[in-house]
Chains A and B, each alone.
Chain A
Amino acid sequence: MSTAVQAQPAPAMATAAGRRASLRHALHAEWTKLRTVSGPAWLLLGLAALTIAVSTAAVGATHCPQNLTCPVDTTKLSLTGIQFGQAVVAILAVLTVSNEYSSGMMRVTLAAMPRRQAVLAAKAILLAALVLVAGAVAVLGSVLAGHLILPGHGFTAARGFHPVWLSYGPTLRAASGSVLYLGLIALMSLGVAVIVRDSAVSIGVVLALLYLFPIILSFIGNEHWQHRLERWTPTVAGLTIQDTTGLRSLVITPWAGLGVLAIWATAAMLAGGLVFRFRDV
């Protein structure tokens, strides 16, 4: 009883300090939830392993014969695995929310943390941080694979190929941008999952967002629509951050492309935040 009375003043002092405190508590709670089940750890490991494996396979399968010119973007090639890694990120992001809904845990969470914005913010911050860390490992491993393997396959500096390494400006931009890309994919997926709640439907929507646009693009012959879609789809525009050659022929500059994905992620998170705030659990 006395605890209830003591708890009363908390909303009253809805000051900046109070918000910070509740965010800190929410972060602590979310961190506990994440680290005490094995799923997220395995998914993060899977993200790094799958990305590096696919990148290494792509790099290993590409050769540039002596007498041919190879219009290959070696940096982009080394980062091929991101195409698969993003699916793992999507699963992780969707499950952080939808698992709570399916198990009914969300009711407990929101009873303990009535400040819903803080709960969502904590989830987003933790998820993004974890994905950025695992993504950095994945990207570094991929770049290392390209750095070690490609020169032996004919992509040498003597033939005009820049070494795939972080000391080369565009590669550094592509690598760091790819890490950010994964983080933004995580936030976009999280936003979708908050809106949809059900894990199956959320993952379907996210996978459609990730993979469907490139397929539609490959079938569309109308250049006007193709151009428009390439500029505004989350993955096609976002992955221009990986391009280091032929930048003039890109439909959108790399950072602007990543910006498009950031708009998608922001929109999904804002919509998710609003729905989360005003909907019954």
Chain B
Amino acid sequence: MTTQAISVPRPEAGSGDGPRGRGFGSVLRAEWIKFRSVRGWVIGMILAALLTIFLGAFAAANANIGCQINGGPPKSGKACLPYIPHGPGGEIVTDSFYFVRQPLTGTGTITAEVTSLTGEHANLSSGPAQVGSSMVPGLAEWAKAGIIIKQSTHQGSAYAAMMVTGSHGVRMQHNFTGDTAGMPGAISAAHPRWLRLTRSGDTITGYDSANGTHWTQVDTVQLTGLPSTVQAGMFATSPGYTVTQNSFGGTSNNGGPAQATGVFDHVSLAGRAPGSTWTGTAIGGGGPAEGGPGPGGGGSVPFTRNGGSYTLTGSGDIAPVTPGPNSPLPTVTIGQSLAGAFLGLIAIVVVAAMFFSTEYRRGLIRTTLAATPRRGAVLAAKAVVIGAVALVTGLVAAVISIGVGVPKEENSGQVLLTAPLLTEVRVIVGTAAMLAVAAVFAVALGAILRRSAAAITIAVVTVVMPFLLTALNVVPAGVGDWLLRLTPAAALAIEQSIPRYSQVTAVTSPVRGYYPLSPYAGFAVLCLWAAAALALALVMLRRRDA
């Protein structure tokens, strides 16, 4: 009896193939066999995938949009959507403004002095805007007027523009996503802004100046594929005016139409075709905002000329469409189809925590550690097995969720804000990876606490609660942002598919798919938590008796 007990370890310890040398592979295999031979755990993982898909599909069964166009028959779903322009980069954009233009062939320069930018917006002081309610003076943050060189009058065509804005100074923007700051400060008759765009081939350079003599270059951009003849001129537009109040207990968003009026002086276009004159066009319905009687409302004239001075009034925006209540379209992001991952997460965390803590309950841990005295290897093997299983489960669930959810959302009349292919891959794989790392976190917690219930609660609450508290505005926005930076919930940032555009007023809440950290930084935060938990688990495992 004793001889056997002694003789068994000896050959293993002596040869290179001993417990140390037998290798991580066999420990891994042992853990994999443990996992797959417990029916409940396998069922738990399958359940995690099914629940994720079901919940994603349920969340996608979103508002079915109905409409009635010009007294016609009531329609619903896709039929309600207007024409949706796509920018040169493929993203969905808003391209509505009032455009006073002339054709420009070959090289040329357009210069203008903007002497005034004013605006009106729907009266929001007494609650949400009503149709036909009066307009009051006021400028939206990103109301804009300036000069533009655009490929054509088609919505979504390439452009570069120099502009003055409501409260962001002079900007040079191009192709909807590009935005460079120029001179800061508000504009007035005493402090006008001179703007200039020079076109040479497909390169456009923007300059600004306070006096028309000393010019500063703001930026130079390439508009690939710009034809020889383009449209150059002045424009004015304003996105809807919104008042957002983020507070405890809810975000209130009041919005209404707005318009901007720009006054231009000293307009010159060098290189224009002989004999052409300024023509006014409302691009994408971007004329003055519809409103009731009131100062400037309703019967505004989009374009007047008084000697060398031009006055333009327009509404709309030239910008990418972002998710949220300020969006002109009912939008969804692919992250929204992955809402079910929260449910999948709970199921996966339950299995992962049990994967370690059950060994303590059943006493199996003593056998495990007798077979593999290197405790670190056991912990690592468990983490690898559960991480890999969670990754595969998450990947299958995420792909099916999107495959089921996205067509459903589109049929209900919502616009999916597409992202570049690599971004969409990152969102899908990232969601699966987030589940995998959360599973590793839970395994480590299971090893530290040796109790499933506590480990599961900590893993679920630290990932789910920060999102919940921020999404439901239970905590102030500032606190919520810090929660989503520091807690394991930061990893949800991996699901952000639409970048935060500084040139668009958007409600950047996590429910809309915006997170305070960049996708990979947020994911790294969860990885750090998991690594810290693993390290602590290793120390505890080594120190404690099994």
Interface string of B38-76 (1 = CB under 8 A from A): 001000100000000001001101111000000000000
Interface string of A216-239 (1 = CB under 8 A from B): 101111110100000000000000
Whether A204 lies near B456 (C-beta < 8 A) is yes
Contact of A216 among B55, B64, B250, B456 (CB under 8 A): B55
Q: List 7 contacting pairs A-B, 8 Å CB cutoff, sorted by A.
A: A90-B457, A203-B453, A207-B346, A211-B468, A221-B62, A222-B64, A225-B61
Given A102-B361, A204-B350, A211-B464, 19 additional A-B pairs, CB 8 A: A58-B479, A72-B248, A73-B248, A91-B453, A95-B453, A98-B453, A200-B354, A200-B452, A200-B453, A203-B350, A203-B453, A204-B349, A204-B456, A214-B472, A215-B339, A215-B467, A216-B58, A216-B339, A218-B471
Whether A83 lies near B457 (C-beta < 8 A) is no
Known: A199-B452, A211-B464, A221-B62. A71 touches B247 (CB 8 A): yes
B404, CB-defined interface residue at 8 Å: no
Size bin of chain A's contact surface: 35 or more
A56, CB-defined interface residue at 8 Å: no
Known: A70-B247, A83-B474. A216 touches B453 (CB 8 A): no
Contact of B457 among A58, A207, A218, A222 (CB under 8 A): A207
> For residue A208, which residue of chain B has the nearest CB?
B346
Whether A199 lies near B453 (C-beta < 8 A) is yes
B347, CB-defined interface residue at 8 Å: yes
Whether B457 lies near A215 (C-beta < 8 A) is no
A95 to B457, CA, bound (A): 12
Q: Least Cβ distance of A46 to chain B in Å?
A: 10
Contact of B62 among A80, A95, A222 (CB under 8 A): A222
> For residue B452, which residue of chain A has the nearest CB?
A200
A40 to B350, CA, bound (A): 22
Known: A70-B247, A72-B248, A211-B464. A219 touches B353 (CB 8 A): no
B460, CB-defined interface residue at 8 Å: yes
Contact of A218 among B61, B62, B475, B511 (CB under 8 A): B511
Interface string of A184-199 (1 = CB under 8 A from B): 0000000000000011
For the complex, would chain B's binding face be called helix, strand, loop or mixed by DSSP majority?
Answer: helix
Contact of B59 among A84, A203, A216 (CB under 8 A): A216
Whether B471 lies near A215 (C-beta < 8 A) is yes
A129, CB-defined interface residue at 8 Å: no
A98 to B55, CA, bound (A): 28
Whether A214 lies near B468 (C-beta < 8 A) is yes
Known: A204-B347, A215-B467, A215-B471. A73 touches B479 (CB 8 A): no
A77 to B339, CA, bound (A): 27
Whether B452 lies near A91 (C-beta < 8 A) is no
Across the interface, which residues of B come within 8 angstroms of A80, CB to CB?
474-475
Whether B361 lies near A83 (C-beta < 8 A) is no
B535, CB-defined interface residue at 8 Å: no
Chain B interface (Cβ within 8 Å of chain A)? 40, 44, 55, 58-59, 61-64, 245, 247-250, 252, 330, 336, 339, 342-343, 346-347, 349-350, 353-354, 357-358, 361, 451-454, 456-457, 460-461, 464-465, 467-469, 471-472, 474-476, 478-479, 511
A62, CB-defined interface residue at 8 Å: yes
Across the interface, which residues of B come within 8 angstroms of A147, CB to CB?
none
A223 to B361, CA, bound (A): 46
Q: Least Cβ distance of B502 to chain A in Å?
A: 25
A14, CB-defined interface residue at 8 Å: no
Whether A76 lies near B249 (C-beta < 8 A) is yes
Known: A80-B475, A91-B454, A219-B336. A200 touches B58 (CB 8 A): no
A41 to B413, CA, bound (A): 54
A88 to B545, CA, bound (A): 28
Across the interface, which residues of B come within 8 angstroms of A201, CB to CB?
40, 44, 350
Whether B472 lies near A218 (C-beta < 8 A) is yes
Whether B457 lies near A87 (C-beta < 8 A) is yes
Contact of A203 among B245, B342, B457 (CB under 8 A): B457
Whether A71 lies near B453 (C-beta < 8 A) is no
Whether A220 lies near B59 (C-beta < 8 A) is yes
Pairs A-B, 3 closest by C-beta atoms: A200-B452, A204-B350, A221-B63
Q: Least Cβ distance of A160 to chain B in Å?
A: 15
Chain A interface (Cβ within 8 Å of chain B)? 58, 61-62, 70-73, 76-77, 80, 83-84, 87, 90-91, 94-95, 98, 102, 198-204, 207-208, 211-212, 214-216, 218-223, 225, 246
A261 to B22, CA, bound (A): 55
Across the interface, which residues of A come within 8 angstroms of B474, CB to CB?
58, 80, 83
Across the interface, which residues of B come within 8 angstroms of A87, CB to CB?
457, 461
Whether A212 lies near B63 (C-beta < 8 A) is no
> For residue B355, which residue of chain A has the nearest CB?
A200
Across the interface, which residues of A come within 8 angstroms of B465, CB to CB?
83-84, 211
Whether B478 lies near A61 (C-beta < 8 A) is yes
> For residue B59, which residue of chain A has the nearest CB?
A219
A201 to B351, CA, bound (A): 8
Interface-centre pick from B44, B457, B474 (highest chain A CB count, 10 A): B457
> For residue A74, which residue of chain B has the nearest CB?
B248
Across the interface, which residues of A come within 8 angstroms of B55, CB to CB?
216
Q: Least Cβ distance of B63 to chain A in Å?
A: 4
Q: Least Cβ distance of A79 to chain B in Å?
A: 11
Contact of A223 among B63, B245, B468 (CB under 8 A): B63
> For residue B64, which residue of chain A has the nearest CB?
A222
> For residue B51, which residue of chain A has the nearest CB?
A208
Whether B460 lies near A207 (C-beta < 8 A) is yes
Q: Least Cβ distance of A266 to chain B in Å?
A: 24
Across the interface, which residues of A come within 8 angstroms of B467, CB to CB?
215
Interface-centre pick from B460, B465, B471, B479 (highest chain A CB count, 10 A): B460
Q: Least Cβ distance of A188 to chain B in Å?
A: 15
Known: A73-B248, A208-B346, A216-B59. A203 touches B456 (CB 8 A): yes
A198 to B452, CA, bound (A): 9
Whether A211 lies near B460 (C-beta < 8 A) is yes
Whether B346 lies near A212 (C-beta < 8 A) is yes
Across the interface, which residues of A come within 8 angstroms of B339, CB to CB?
215-216, 219
A225 to B60, CA, bound (A): 12
Across the interface, which residues of B come within 8 angstroms of A225, CB to CB?
61
Q: Least Cβ distance of A32 to chain B in Å?
A: 22
Whether B343 lies near A62 (C-beta < 8 A) is no
A201 to B247, CA, bound (A): 36
Contact of B248 among A77, A91, A219, A223 (CB under 8 A): A77
Across the interface, which residues of A come within 8 angstroms of B343, CB to CB?
208, 212
Q: Least Cβ distance of B543 to chain A in Å?
A: 21
Whether A207 lies near B461 (C-beta < 8 A) is yes
Q: Least Cβ distance of A214 to chain B in Å?
A: 6
Whether B342 lies near A94 (C-beta < 8 A) is no
> For residue B509, which residue of chain A has the nearest CB?
A218
